[in-house]
Copies of this chain bind each other. A is one copy, B any other.
Amino acid sequence: MKQSQLFYKSLKQAPKDEESKNAQLLVRGGFIDKVMAGVYNYLPLGLRVLKKIENIIREEMNAIDGQEILMPVLHPGENWKKTGRWDAMTVLFKLQGAGDKDLVLGPTHEEIVTPLGKKFIFSYKDLPHAVYQIQTKFRNEARSKSGLLRGREFAMKDMYTFDADEAGLDKIYAQVEKAYKKICERLGIGDITYKTYASGGTFSKYSHEYQTVCPTGEDTIYTCDKCKVAVNKELINELKKCPECSNSKLKEQKAIEVGNIFKLKTKFSDAFNLKYVAEDGSEKPVIMGCYGFGPSRAMGTLAEIFNDKSGLIWPESVAPFDVHLLNLKADNKDADKLYANLIKQGIDVLYDDRPEIRAGEKLADADLIGIPHRLVISDKTKNKVEYKKRGDKKTKLITDKEIIKKVMGNK
């Protein structure tokens, strides 16, 4: 992609209406654009990052045999009245459709997926099932000033499982734990994300959050560095020590919740009377679980964590492009050639070909956008190319051949 054509403009200053670092950097770099508090446009650069995060999550859900579906944004209000959440959930966006029908903008989809399950699940032979979607969710937050960390409209991967018994639920629950660990590793936050014990609601002792340590996070967790789990603030007074290794030296840290897994058991199958006929002929409620992971919040989290004073530093797995090629020469001839060559090799390149932009500004924009591999062609580089990894200080003159090795090394 030629930067001269990219639908974006970087901002030298952080926008005045953004308090959070992630929004400041993402708006300045031309990744997102604020429509109103908690609601953003994703620009070409930002949508590339979001889609890469979503695809990582999708691949790991498919790997544990999750089946992708898509449930709607508009929910019948009656379903929410049936579960009691029409009144209980304060952040619900409510509206009326034709014929004064009460509607809800889905903040989560148990009220849709449980009645859906009733259509396909009758017997123990129809179990288990794990379905997931990557869908936009809505929460009518009173305040929304944390950029992508707490949106009124945001992306969510939510998986729901249907099992015949708790053993089945435990099995898929453990599989999702492993999948979430892989997702966090692939996003570059594997070593700072903790499976965190949280209270489980009516039906389970615990639920689990995936909390990524970050000084600006709005949650407080207590981490155990022996077994890499943590305890949520609401549970720490009850548990006092690590629930897995009994270590009592826990460290208080700020964190961002990027995912959660939750045993619903029969909470929603009871509400919608979702039952199946067991092998012995008896009728039993279906056992359910739900598993969330937020792609847009993960994007905000990465922006919040991976940056320096000059801008963003994306992990290779989610960077909008593999390579940022900057031409600082008066004419674009050599850079055009290299650009064409890199594309031919299957490398995704953002190419700063803008003719009237000063070298200093191009370099500053590259730091702000934060693509991992930077290549510069200038009068000084002769028949070589200057290479710098975003975040490193030193540059190096390399040949065309070495570029491929540098860029594709980790793939």
Q: Which residues of A contact B (CB under 8 A)?
A: 5-9, 33, 35-36, 39-44, 47, 50, 65, 67-76, 93-95, 97-98, 101, 105, 112, 116, 119-120, 125, 129, 131, 136, 138, 140-143, 152-153, 356
Chain B residue nearest in CB terms to A144: B98
- Give 5 pairs: A residue, B residue, CB < 8 Å, sorted on A: A7-B67, A33-B119, A35-B74, A44-B131, A97-B140
Contact partners of A6 in chain B: CB under 8 A: 67
- State the Cβ distance, A383 to closest chain B Cβ, in Å: 32
Contact partners of A141 in chain B: CB under 8 A: 98
Asked whether, in the complex, the Cβ of A39 is within 8 Å of the Cβ of B74, the reply is yes
Asked whether, in the complex, the Cβ of A112 is within 8 Å of the Cβ of B5, the reply is no
Asked whether, in the complex, the Cβ of A116 is within 8 Å of the Cβ of B41, the reply is yes
- The residue in A5, A9, A41, A73 that gathers the most chain B C-beta atoms within 10 A of its C-beta is A41
Q: How far is the CA of A400 from the CA of B36 in the complex (A)?
A: 58
- State the Cβ distance, A90 to closest chain B Cβ, in Å: 10
Known: A41-B69, A131-B7, A140-B98. A35 touches B93 (CB 8 A): no
Contact partners of A41 in chain B: CB under 8 A: 69-72, 112, 116
Q: How far is the CA of A67 from the CA of B30 in the complex (A)?
A: 14
- State the Cβ distance, A271 to closest chain B Cβ, in Å: 16
Contact partners of A42 in chain B: CB under 8 A: 69-71
Contact partners of A76 in chain B: CB under 8 A: 35-36
Q: How far is the CA of A307 from the CA of B177 in the complex (A)?
A: 43
Asked whether, in the complex, the Cβ of B120 is within 8 Å of the Cβ of A7, the reply is yes
Contact partners of A44 in chain B: CB under 8 A: 67-69, 131
Contact partners of A142 in chain B: CB under 8 A: 98
- The residue in A76, A94, A97, A140 that gathers the most chain B C-beta atoms within 10 A of its C-beta is A97
Q: Which of B8, B43, B95, B153 contacts A93 (CB under 8 A)?
A: B95
Contact partners of A65 in chain B: CB under 8 A: 5
Asked whether, in the complex, the Cβ of A95 is within 8 Å of the Cβ of B97, the reply is no
- State the Cβ distance, A160 to closest chain B Cβ, in Å: 10
Known: A75-B35, A94-B95, A97-B152. A119 touches B70 (CB 8 A): no
Asked whether, in the complex, the Cβ of B153 is within 8 Å of the Cβ of A72, the reply is yes
Q: How far is the CA of A71 from the CA of B42 in the complex (A)?
A: 6
Contact partners of A101 in chain B: CB under 8 A: 36
Q: How far is the CA of A125 from the CA of B354 in the complex (A)?
A: 11
Asked whether, in the complex, the Cβ of A47 is within 8 Å of the Cβ of B69, the reply is yes
- State the Cβ distance, A84 to closest chain B Cβ, in Å: 20
Contact partners of A95 in chain B: CB under 8 A: 93-95, 105
Known A33-B116, A97-B152; further 10 A-B contacts with Cβ < 8 A:
A6-B67, A7-B120, A9-B119, A35-B74, A35-B112, A41-B116, A42-B71, A74-B152, A74-B153, A98-B152
Chain B residue nearest in CB terms to A355: B125
Q: How far is the CA of A86 from the CA of B39 in the complex (A)?
A: 19
Asked whether, in the complex, the Cβ of B39 is within 8 Å of the Cβ of A72, the reply is yes
Contact partners of A67 in chain B: CB under 8 A: 5-7, 44
Contact partners of A105 in chain B: CB under 8 A: 73, 95, 105
